[in-house]
Amino acid sequence: MMPGTGHPYPVAGGLALRLEVVAHDAVMARERDARAQQCVVGHPSPNSARTSTYGRRQAMTVPDESLRVLAGWADAFEMGVPVGQWRGGEAGPDGVIQMPWFELSDDLERFTREMSEYGFVRPVPWMGWAGTPEAQRLIQDPASIAKAGRDDLVYLLTTIIRGERFGDGQIAGAYERGALLAIARRAGLLLASAEPT
């Protein structure tokens, strides 16, 4: 049995290990989200009153420097960057099929690192938020991102980047449907509206 699930181990040992890791990551993420739910980061924002099925969204501060870094990706996304490719899925000499995974390009790896370094990936209750109608609209419809606030960008990027742990290809999918470009453009507009002319 897989620890904590009550489900039998799958036949392929690699898949069992991957599922166990995913289950562990999900538990750890829920615990982090619950801790994050107990504190408010930064100052209230216009979006802080929005609620989700997981509870009240956190108010947070996103520095202009962070927006500047995110906005800097708009040109690269508009021109097109390599996304990455699927690996694995082939049978080895012993007949065992390796679990497929998505390998991000160097550009998207650097993007995810920068988003973490500049505070766009935070311990917020993203799992609960991702199931709300508001989140689904922002995640699936890049045009709706044009009205997103700073904290919306944090929730979006946290959901997309952390979601990669639970389903390979989340970041590439967000890039391909134009969500990452829309997020970077919105960061530029938020920055421009905050800076004195």
DSSP 83: -
- Distances 87 to 22, 102, 103 between C-alpha atoms, Å: 19, 6, 7
pLDDT in tens, 8-29: 434 344 443 444 444 555 555 5
191: which residues sit within 8 A by CB, 6+ positions away? 64, 67, 68, 71
What are the pLDDT digits (tens) for 80-123? Answer: 988 898 888 888 899 998 888 888 999 999 999 999 999 999 99
Q: For residue 89, what pLDDT is reported?
A: 86
Q: Per residue in 118-143, pLDDT tens?
A: 999 999 999 999 999 999 999 889 99
Closest CA relative to residue 184, chosen from 137, 148, 132, 159:
148
Range with lowest mean pLDDT among 58-67, 89-98, 146-155, 183-192 = 58-67
Residue 30: predicted pLDDT: 59
Asked whether residue 154 carries a pLDDT value surpassing 90, the answer given is: yes
C-alpha closest to that of 186 among 157, 163, 162: 157
Q: Looking at this protein, which amino acid is placed at residue 186?
A: R
148, pLDDT greater than 90: yes
Q: How far apart are CA 117 and CA 163, in angstroms?
A: 17
| pLDDT in the model for residue 8 | 43
